[in-house]
Amino acid sequence: MDVVFLSRLQFALTIMFHYLFPPLTIGMAVVMVFLEARFLRTRDPIYEQAARFWTSIFALNFAVGVATGIVMEFEFGTNWAAYSRFVGDVFGSALAAEGIFAFFLESGFLALLVFGWDRVGPRMHFFSTLMVSLGSIFSSIWIVVANSWQQTPAGHHIVQMQRDGQPWFVNGEPVLRAEITDFWQLVFNPSTVHRLVHVWIGAFIMGTFFIMSVSAWYLLKRRHITFAERSFEGALLLGTIFSLGAAVSGHFQGQNVYRHQPAKMAAFEALYHTGPAPLTLFGIPDDDERRVKAEIAFPGGTSLLVKGDLKAPLLGLDAFRPEDRPPVFIPFVSYHVMAILGVFFIGLTLLACFFRVKGSLFQKRWLLWIFVVSVLGAVAANELGWTAAEVGRQPWVVVPPVLRGPDGEPVVGPDGFVRYETVRIPMARERAALQSALFAPPAGLRTKDAVSESVSAEEVLTSIILFGLIYLLLGAVWVFVLNHKIQTGPLALEPGGRNLREVVTARADHRQSLTEAKGP
Amino acid sequence: MDLHILWFVILGALLAGYAILDGFDLGVGILHPLARTDRERRLFLNAIGPLWDGNEVWLVTFGGALFAMFPEAYATIFSGFYLAFMVLLFALIARAVSIEFRGKMHAEGWRRFWDWTFFGSSLTATVIFGVGVGNAIGGVPLDERGAYIGTLSDLLHPYALLIGLLPAALFAMHGAIYLFLKTSGGVQERLGRWMWHTWGLFLFLYLVATILTLLRYPHAATNFQRHPWAVIGIILNLLAITNIPRALFRQRYAEAFLCSSITIACMVFLFAMALYPNMLVASNDADRSWTIVNAASSEKTLRIGLLIAGIGMPFVLAYTGIVYWTFRGKVKTEEAGY
């Protein structure tokens, strides 16, 4: 096993574990803002009860999210040093902006949110919830900006590094890196907005499905009925809107992917050959035979969605040099399962809305059971969407833009392959004759050239094993504690609708703590 | 001012901010075994509960700023010290979850496990920071591209390990004074004694480290000859260290805490002066060193970064102020907390 494979494996492991938490917290924070706003307006203690309960669960998810998130920032340097040298000027700025604009906001106000119930007034508490929610959204903006720049780079140029005022060569090769030319073009690169909207919707779906899952479980167990019904209804409304929104946003994103990363779209749909592209509902891509086996497909469907024409030819993998082709199996499967889950969410939420209007939703026990487990589908859809996006980006870590002709269409070279933009580096005079002929690299960076120079396979293997063990333990403890919190449930309201704060104070076993069940 | 120098100063300020703020909660972790009862342990945790997470963000932001403004230094340091960073990451993860998970269950074994995890991870993280500083002062071997070419064992020489103990003693002292301010009664009396013990230990290590540094790495002091004004940092450092026992004796504990904060800031300043104008010294060939100029991003990026920091930092200071003001005063175990 080589360093590249192992480093990719480690990044996949750590990011996929980390990404269980951010969408959950982004999604839950929005619901908490809603609940506290309702409380401020109506002063109905049921809303404060709900807000307190979800806040304590939010805090747990947030803590694990922070602990696993710091790993990500460090891993660019530890495992992807060559990448960091190449992109630091551009990518680093987005990451630093995330730290300054998002993390301080989140962590500061989280303290007031979790520990401040008795220290600040309800208005300040609401403001803190709003700020935490805003912070988590800011964080997603900057990280999606940074990632989108890798997919569809813009606002930069690739130049030779200077060393002591001279162009820098190592072993006769110029040392290249990307440098910012236009910050706003970098921020609003061609895929940022589409991807950000889709990421947000994914997060909101996850948050609302999580709340519906827990609420449905309470309803099935006939506990905390009023609380659970209110939470479920609120989350259902938002969940339905976001599920429908995901389909719309996914459609536009698909078109954008084809426009800017046609090789990725070919991998998503397993288009081995250029031509009219079917919309595959089921199939098993076979790289050796270069076709999709056991295919159930709507002919011309993808062409219709992307180009608005059943017969429009789309670029297949055969339009790219073998060394520029992404793998097919993982992007194809993860993309399709994500899309199928998206359709499932729409069907499920619309059905629940239908029963809600008829007034029989909470009697449909089978449907509530489906909601209890559907949160796993939401988690899977979020993870798989990213898997498709990142594996479909291969073999590049920074994808070079496709070279376009005057008509805006990709330029196909005499060998029949799509051309990428290349870098022209003015050579130092004495090297010009030697180098210029052989050096016009693509305006991107291959994943295999991005790993750390000074890290060995054994070291990465060691850290993967340790991460694996620690995350396994962490995941198990997280589920255990989460389950314990859910079993304990929200603080009960006493009949007569006393202020929750008085109720809490009166209960000796709980004191005023929400993050801990204290003993007698 | 030159942009490179300015960013070097800002990174120093972020590092000092991190060391002062996370310093006391790491110190609380190192002192955690001194708490005798479950109530005392919860008191310790509640004293830092709302604050430690925000304090750690200073490290995250320091890392992000290093990546953005000096990517070559970031890449070489993080990949070169690979296993050390992995252990640091595991320690930071373990620390975060031990604080969060400990109070969630009543079982004795559960709490003991997370108590020791909290102590062990706090101490490990602190020592690794110190070992990193020790290696940065000494320099490490780099190849022509500026990547690290040594092994893990090269990083664990006695000098670096000694420097690793220095922040452990310093943060323990800092944490003891912090806890003293936040507690009362019997536990506070014991902490009062520990403030003196940790101060003595720190002073001893500080003197040994200073002598060894001057003997082994005389280049660390050259900046003080070139820029005599910098001696102010040394004088301030010595005044702050010696004023701590005076303040303790006169029962001005807030003043003692201020002095330990100044001590930490001065230590970061001394470290920066030992490095400047380098970010990372190549011990095998001075020409390969990453200086603040050749490790830096383009001037345009440095300027954009300055704008981002200029907009963001006032907000950061405001949030930090609000949070510390809200949670001022003595802690109790009855409040919302761990």
B19, pLDDT greater than 90: yes
CA distance B338 to B334: 9
Whether A96 and B61 lie within 8 Å, measured CB to CB: yes
- What's the pLDDT score for residue A516? 42
Yes or no: say if A516 and B104 are a contact pair by the CB < 8 Å rule.
yes
Provide mean pLDDT across the span A196-212.
Answer: 93
For chain A, the structural domain boundaries read 1-153+443-520, 194-274+324-392
Residue of A nearest to B101 (CA): A481
Residues of chain A with pLDDT > 70, as a percent, come to 92
Provide mean pLDDT across the span A101-108.
Answer: 85
What's the pLDDT tens digit per position in A45-64?
A: 888 888 888 888 888 888 88
Residue-range domains of chain B with CATH: 3-326 (1.20.1630.10)
- What's the pLDDT score for residue A519? 35
Determine which of B4, B43, B86, B303 to mutate to test the interface with A (most A C-beta atoms within 10 Å): B86
What's the pLDDT tens digit per position in B163-207?
A: 999 999 999 999 999 999 888 888 888 888 898 999 999 999 999
Task: Show which of residues 148-177 on chain B sit within 8 Å of chain A, judged by CB atoms.
Answer: 148-149
CA distance B123 to B29: 7
> Is residue B110 less than 8 Å (CB to CB) from chain A?
no
Contacts of B23 (CB under 8 A, 6+ apart): B167, B170, B171, B174, B175, B264
- What's the pLDDT score for residue B322? 85
- What's the pLDDT score for residue A248? 93
Whether B71 and A88 lie within 8 Å, measured CB to CB: yes
Whether B336 and A115 lie within 8 Å, measured CB to CB: yes
- Burial of residue A309 (CB within 10 Å: 0-12, 13-18, 19+) is exposed
Mean pLDDT value across chain A = 85
Whether B316 and A104 lie within 8 Å, measured CB to CB: yes
> Is residue B112 less than 8 Å (CB to CB) from chain A?
no
Contacts of B213 (CB under 8 A, 6+ apart): B137, B159, B220, B274
Yes or no: say if B276 and B8 are a contact pair by the CB < 8 Å rule.
yes
* ipTM of the complex in this document: 0.87
- What's the pLDDT score for residue B336? 52
Residue of A nearest to B148 (CA): A454
Whether B89 and A74 lie within 8 Å, measured CB to CB: yes
CA distance A127 to A36: 9
- What's the pLDDT score for residue A506? 41
A285, pLDDT greater than 90: no
What's the pLDDT tens digit per position in A363-402?
A: 888 999 999 999 999 999 999 999 999 999 989 999 999 9
**B51 chain-A contacts, CB cut-off 8 A:** 111
Mean pLDDT value across chain B = 88
- What's the pLDDT score for residue A511? 37
Yes or no: say if A178 and A86 are a contact pair by the CB < 8 Å rule.
yes
Residue of A nearest to B326 (CA): A119
Whether A484 and B104 lie within 8 Å, measured CB to CB: yes
Helix H or strand E segment including B15: helix B3-31
Could you write out the DSSP letters of every residue in A196-233? Answer: HHHHHHHHHHHHHHHHHHHHHHHHHTT-SHHHHHHHHH
For residue B58, the number of C-alpha atoms closer than 13 Å in the C-beta half-sphere is 22
**A163 chain-B contacts, CB cut-off 8 A:** 294
**A97 chain-B contacts, CB cut-off 8 A:** 308, 312
Residues composing chain B: 338
Provide mean pLDDT across the span A220-239.
Answer: 88
In degrees and rounded to multiples of 5, residue B337 shows phi and psi of 170, -155
**Confidence band for B338, pLDDT divided at 50, 70 and 90:** low
- Burial of residue A50 (CB within 10 Å: 0-12, 13-18, 19+) is buried
Task: Show which of residues 36-95 on chain B sit within 8 Å of chain A, judged by CB atoms.
Answer: 49-51, 53-54, 56-57, 59-61, 63-65, 67-72, 74-80, 82-83, 85-86, 88-90, 92-94
Q: Which of A95, A108, A171 sits opposite B54 (nearest CB)?
A: A108
Residues composing chain A: 520
User: In this predicted model, which residue has the larger pLDDT, A393 or B324?
Assistant: A393
**Confidence band for A276, pLDDT divided at 50, 70 and 90:** confident
Instruction: Identify which of B85, B72, B84, B87 has the alpha carbon closest to the alpha carbon of residue B143.
Output: B72
What's the pLDDT tens digit per position in B111-122?
A: 889 999 999 999
- What's the pLDDT score for residue A512? 36
- What's the pLDDT score for residue B287? 86
**Confidence band for A427, pLDDT divided at 50, 70 and 90:** low
Q: Which of B60, B76, B319 sits opposite A81 (nearest CB)?
A: B76
Q: Which of B74, B147, B322 sits opposite A454 (nearest CB)?
A: B147
Provide mean pLDDT across the span B127-146.
Answer: 90
Helix H or strand E segment including B245: helix B231-249
Provide mean pLDDT across the span B279-295.
Answer: 89
Yes or no: say if A94 and A145 are a contact pair by the CB < 8 Å rule.
yes
Whether B297 and A92 lie within 8 Å, measured CB to CB: yes
Q: Which of A78, A87, A116 sits opposite B79 (nearest CB)?
A: A78
At residue A119, the 3 state secondary structure works out as coil
Tokens for A203, please give them: 């997060």
